Chains A and B, each alone.
Chain A
Amino acid sequence: DTEVTQTPKHLVMGMTNKKSLKCEQHMGHRAMYWYKQKAKKPPELMFVYSYEKLSINESVPSRFSPECPNSSLLNLHLHALQPEDSALYLCASSTYALGPPAHGYTFGSGTRLTVV
């Protein structure tokens, strides 16, 4: 299995809702990432998990809460989002978070989030 699987593919939520995005990989990768991508822009790093521990939080607002239950799963819990949080949320994984990224990252297809 050489894929990163993200669910759901599309999500519409109100500003008072609580929802979660899910990401799964079975490549044995020990680093997993959340990115946010706005239209016509490159992905922006949000969080990095290395060996199931949060290693980087790029000053992301607390209404985004990541969780890594095990080495194959990564969640992003959403609460009280704003319309400007509407974007494509991408999950990625790599062999390791630190050290030469010779193999690059494997990205999922993303969750298209719309906050109304």
Chain B
Amino acid sequence: GNSVTQMEGPVTLSEEAFLTINCTYTATGYPSLFWYVQYPGEGLQLLLKATKADDKGSNKGFEATYRKETTSFHLEKGSVQVSDSAVYFCALGDNAGNMLTFGGGTRLMVKP
């Protein structure tokens, strides 16, 4: 079956630091990959996506590249802000009609 593995948090960074949150996946075929963000007390918001190998998704300074050879979709941002503090979920959607599969989530805390 499909699975998504994320690095465990919390990840604590100072403002303007570089961010990487690792995500690897197991799936058959050619899945679509997503990063969702959940701010405190809110639902999940789609942050970025990639639908095929070597695609780069980007939004709000965040980016992730779909690497089929390493089955990875790591999230990066060059300079984090306090407002980026949230929980980030990596997710996979296959093309066989299965529902989204979520990773366990990674909490990011950015300190001033």
A residues in contact (CB < 8 Å) with B? 4, 6, 33, 40-43, 45, 48, 56, 88, 90, 92, 97-110, 112
Q: Choose one: A40, A45, A90, A109; the contact of B105 (CB below 8 Å).
A: A40
Expressed in whole angstroms, the minimum distance between the Cβ of B87 and any Cβ of chain A is 8
Most buried by B among A41, A56, A100, A103: A100
B residues in contact (CB < 8 Å) with A? 32, 34, 36, 41-46, 49, 51, 89, 91, 93, 95, 97, 99-100, 102-105, 107
Expressed in whole angstroms, the minimum distance between the Cβ of A13 and any Cβ of chain B is 19
Q: Are A42 and B49 in contact (CB under 8 A)?
A: no
Contact of A101 with B44 at beta-carbon distance under 8 Å, contacts A42-B102, A42-B103, A45-B99 already known: no
Closest to A6 in B: B43
